[in-house]
Each structure stands twice: as structure tokens, then as C-alpha cells.
Amino acid sequence: MRTFSILAAGLLALTFGMGCGDDDKPKPDTTDTADTTDTSPDTTGETTEETTEETSEDTTAPDGEIVEPTYATLTFSIDDSANKTYDATDGLAWKGSFSYDAANDVLSFSSAWSGPFVNLWDDGPAPDGHEAPGATAGDNIWTVAVRTPTPEADQVFEYGAIRGSVDGSDGGWIWTGPNGTVTVPAGETGVVAASGLVIPAHGTIDLRLTIDISNEGANLDPTFQGVTYTDVKVKGSAWGWTEIAMADDGQGSDEAAGDGIYTYVMSEHLGKHDGLLKPGDEPMFVFVLDGSEYKAGGAPPTAGVTAAVGSPGAWEAVTVENKPDGDQNTFITVPEIWVAPGEGYVAVNFSIDDSANKTYEAVDGLAWKGSFAYDPATRIMTKDAAWGGPFAVLYDDGPWNEGGHEPAGATAGDNVWGITVWVSNAAADTFEYGAIRGSVDGSDGAWIWVGPNGTFAVEAGATTAIDAAGLVIAPHGTIDLRLTIDTSNEGANLNALFQGVTYNDVKVKGSAWGWSEIALADDGAKGDAAAADGIYTFVLSENIGKHDGLLKLGDMPEFIFVLDSSEYKNADGEGASEGVSAWSDYSAPGADYCVAVTEQCTTETIGLTEGQFKNTMIVVGDSDEP
């Protein structure tokens, strides 16, 4: 057993009392008592530390019999199965009022939280692993089972959790709320489970905090006034109590540089294990001004502090409060931030389904473009026949009524990008639309809609949500496409409107590559048969971008050539086909038969799409040839 004299216990109490923090870090028992597990009959009251190392050796009873020591088993866990961000290198550990001897696998009480502490594992239970009985290796639930000597009286341990621990060393505090406690009953030899930590799934709601230190802190609590602060930080439970430097530089969500109002935005500082918030979350935080925690009377003030949730450009102010117990940290409660505007509006849903190919992510800026203007702060869409925008950026962050932007019932992270907006139902109206990518905050982007523009109608007084027909991005295939246009002899083989010109800028745009204009060359490369023969060539497999792929049998790719910036269309506004040829290798998919015209690269019939645009197109496999 490890015993401490009264003087030693007092010195440890002084040492750890100086380190008390605001973030529910451990608060050791500093009373001047001996270790409650110490039952040695020859303990003295000497004022020097007397230490007896605890071992698992047998002891001798007064009658001379050998008494084998007994133990209880303590278990603890941290469940990271929702986010799966932790691995063995992150050093998850159980920290508390104990000292752990890893060599003998024995945990002993230490009121001073002296450590070493207990690292957690995801390697399964003994004999092969370290986890609690019944645990499963690799399930992202980190556990441990350790021995503690059977106490003669009930033994209470206080604890929390840390990360970054190496072989039981201290680390960053990640426990949420008041410290945990577990009691090992007198005489216990069985398993006692300490309540663990469940790391909740990350959400989609951002957090913005500000603190006003202007005018020498005139708007702060009186105890912090009269100082020009130059080092402003914030630490909080939602980011592992790490101190984050705040900025007053007018960048990002900081409104004005040098105004003395410092800003923190959670999404701009996410670490490996951090995530955004969900409705009902209660993140705690404490500001640190020039190295001193912003506290008065033991609790952080709210003077000079503001908080908002939502997303940049669509912030909603929330109340900053103090926790009633413990360190009384400041905190906010995340509300249901996206709320329908109420009577007079109807919800309209839209989506783009990329679940087949999974090539899009948030940075690609998928958006809904149409005859409307969209306000992301109110989520209200109003008619704009000129298609002036802003347009509605799409999200894959879950339902709008659960903190995301998508239609009710949607699933975050499923590669179906959507949005729910509100439209006035005061009068009947019809909206026209399509889809774009590369949109930043509702700006315009590259058109990716296929076919005629979509439409949805709002009836006067409508209350049932409207599902505007979305875009399903078809799975990519294995069939290549080859297109050529013959501009030789000043366009002699082209439509009459385009003859008599030597073309120097030849491009093609099409539905299979997001309507991007691809510059073509007559240089004998990338599938072009011969250099400088006036025949320009496009081969799909030679021009595939991040979101593009090959074709499937029955696909109907549309395309339009662009000659010296003019679309190649006839007098009726239809895509011209004179001088144009198309091939596919549908008879032998997966090989590069169309990079050059081989026997397997089959001529395809060129037709026109129906509807308003009349683009040239082919139906893959609908060949002129047998």
C-alpha cells in the first residue's frame, strides 16, 4: 500500500490546489487525511513522507496463515462510435483520484490525482487485449479493465477523461460536465463499472462567440476594466478545452478590424476530434484575457460577451448563461435554428442525387438556380423572372428541422444534396429552374442540369410541402465517346451559315461533362487522327474531370460545338450536324477503342433533343451500323 504522512498530504494538497481550472478539471480532495486504503497497523504520525510500495504479494495473518490479496475489477469506457475520430495514437485515458501501476495492473486511491493514469484500448478483452469483458476490438469504443485492492470500507473514486496521454501521463481534459464518481463497496471482488463518456455525434450548426474589450474593457465586468488587452483566447468543452486565439482582423466572421471586438467561429478552428453542434447541445466556454480567465467571484461573467449559432451569413443570436453548479462556466443552448416562417409560406424541397458516383463535396458548390432570389438568413425564396439570384446552395447535412438544411427525413452524408426553402403562398405562381456547380454563397456557376428546365407551381394558400423534381446524376459507365467536326477548307463541309471562315477557336460543350467548354486541337494528339487537317476531335476518356465519367448503353449525351465563340446551330436554332461525326465503343466497353477509330469504335447516329434547346445528341448503342 502507498501511505502518506500528514505533511506529505498537505504538500500535495497545496500543489494541486494551485492548478484548479474552470473546465471541470479534477478538483482533488485536499483534506489532511491518510489514504483510505491504508490499513497498515504500524502507521505513524511522522511529518516526513513514509512510502510503502504496494505489491500483489501475499500477506501473513496474525495466526501465521498466508492470506492472498483480493481485488475488485474496475471498468471504464469512452464511446467514439458516432464520429470515429480517435485511434491509438491519440492517447485516450481515464484520469482520476488514483495512481495506476501498469506493470501489476493495480489501481490505487490517490486523493491528489497523482497518476499515472489509465490508457484506454480498442483491442478486445483479455487475454489478447486490455478491454473490459465483452468488448469488441475495433468498434471505436475505447475501454479498460483494471484491478483495485478490495477495500475494507467503501472506496469512492472521482474521475474524468483526457486525451494525448502517453503511458499514463497527463493530457488534455475532454470530460463533459461534473466529475464522475464510482464506489467500490467494502469487500468487493467482482466487477464495478464506472460510468463512461459517450462522445455525441457531431452536428451541422456553427458557433460564433465575441467578446468586447474595447475602450480598456469598458464593456466587461468591472474587475476586468481599465486594461488594454492584447492576448484574447477562448477555451471550451466543444473543442477539448484547448485555448484558441481570437481575432480582431475583419477577416472571416469578424465584422471589423481593430474595433476591440474579438471573434471566434467554431468551423474555422475544427481539429481532428472536433465537430459542429446539434440542437440541444450546451457547449461551455471561458475566455482568457492576457493569460487570466475571465472570471469574477468564481464564475465567468457574461458582460461584453455575445454568442450566435447557425452559419456564416445566417447567424441567430442566442443567450449566454452560467451553469448553476461546479465551475459555473458560461454556456449556450443550441436551439432549433431553422424554423419555418409560419403562416403565409409553403415549404419547397429540391435535391441533387450523387449517391451513385459520390464525386461531389461541399467545396464543389452544388446549387439550385432558377427564376428566383434566395435569402439564406430567412430561407425565403422570392420570384425573380430575370434569374438574378442569389441562388440556393445545396447541403448534405441532414434535415432542416434537425439543424441541417435538407428536406425533412433526409440523411446527412448520403451524397444526396438538398435544401428546403419557403415560398409565399399568397398568390399562385410558377418557378423555372435548373442546377449549377461552383457556386459560392449563392453566386452563379457552371450549368449541369440535363434536359429542359424544371418547373414547380405554388397554388394560392398551399400548405403541403412541394417537391420540386431534382437531378439524379446517373452512375458512370465504361463506354467512350468520340466526336469530330470538319472545319477544313473554310468550313466547306459545315452548315451554310458557317461556311467561308477559317476557324481558330474550336470547342465543344456537353451534358456528359457538365456543359464545360472543352477546347479542341487539330494537332494529332489526344485522339486527333491527323494534325492540321482541319478536323477537330473530342474523346471523352481524354477529357474526364472530377465529376465526369464514361457512358452506359442507352445514355443520351447532348453536345454543341462552339466555333469562334458562336454555337454551331442552324437558322432554326437547332444544333447543326453537317460536318459532325460521332462514335462510341459500346460493342467493346472498357477499352480505348475510340481514342483512335478502330473496328470496335462504332459510328453513332446524330439526332436532336426535344424541348427548348434542340441540342445535338446521340443515343449510345443506337448505331447506323449493324
Residue 241 contacts residue 299 (beta carbons within 8 Å): no
- Do 434 and 548 fall into the same domain? no
The C-alpha atoms of residue 368 and residue 379 are separated, in whole angstroms, by: 13
pLDDT over 80 (residue 553): yes
The C-alpha atoms of residue 476 and residue 539 are separated, in whole angstroms, by: 16
- Do 216 and 169 fall into the same domain? no
Residue 363: left (phi > 0), alpha (psi -120 to 50), or beta? Answer: alpha
pLDDT tens, position by position, 201-229: 888 789 999 999 999 999 999 999 999 99
The reply to whether 339 falls in a domain is: no
Residue 373 contacts residue 431 (beta carbons within 8 Å): no
Q: What is the mean pLDDT of the chain?
A: 87
Strand pairing partners for 98? Answer: 109
More confident call, 319 vs 589? 319
- At 43 the pLDDT is 27
Residue 28 contacts residue 178 (beta carbons within 8 Å): no
The reply to whether 338 falls in a domain is: no
Return the minimum-mean-pLDDT range out of 11-15, 308-312, 419-423: 11-15
Q: Residues 553-572: what's their mean pLDDT? A: 96
The reply to whether 16 falls in a domain is: yes
The helix, strand and coil proportions of the chain, stated in percent and rounded to the nearest 5, come to 10, 35, 60
- At 549 the pLDDT is 94
Quick one: pLDDT band at residue 326, thresholds 50, 70, 90?
confident
pTM attached to this predicted model: 0.55
pLDDT tens, position by position, 347-357: 999 999 999 99
Residue 153: partners with Cβ closer than 8 Å, 6 or more residues away: 36, 186
- Do 248 and 304 fall into the same domain? yes
Owning domain of residue 136: 6-198
- Do 61 and 152 fall into the same domain? yes
- Do 543 and 571 fall into the same domain? yes
Number of domains in the chain: 4
pLDDT tens, position by position, 364-375: 999 999 999 999
Domain closes at, from 472, 500, 533: 472
The C-alpha atoms of residue 275 and residue 83 are separated, in whole angstroms, by: 9
Quick one: pLDDT band at residue 253, thresholds 50, 70, 90?
confident
Quick one: pLDDT band at residue 329, thresholds 50, 70, 90?
very high
Q: Residues 469-477: what's their mean pLDDT? A: 95
H helix intervals, 420-574: 488-491
Quick one: pLDDT band at residue 394, thresholds 50, 70, 90?
very high
- Do 11 and 158 fall into the same domain? yes
The reply to whether 337 falls in a domain is: no
Q: Residues 159-169: what's their mean pLDDT? A: 96
More confident call, 514 vs 339? 514
- Do 160 and 255 fall into the same domain? no
- At 624 the pLDDT is 54
E strands within 387-498? 392-393, 416-424, 429-437, 446-447, 454-458, 466-467, 471-472, 481-486
CATH number at residue 116: 2.60.40.10
The reply to whether 74 falls in a domain is: yes
The reply to whether 116 falls in a domain is: yes
- Residues composing the chain: 626
- Do 176 and 241 fall into the same domain? no
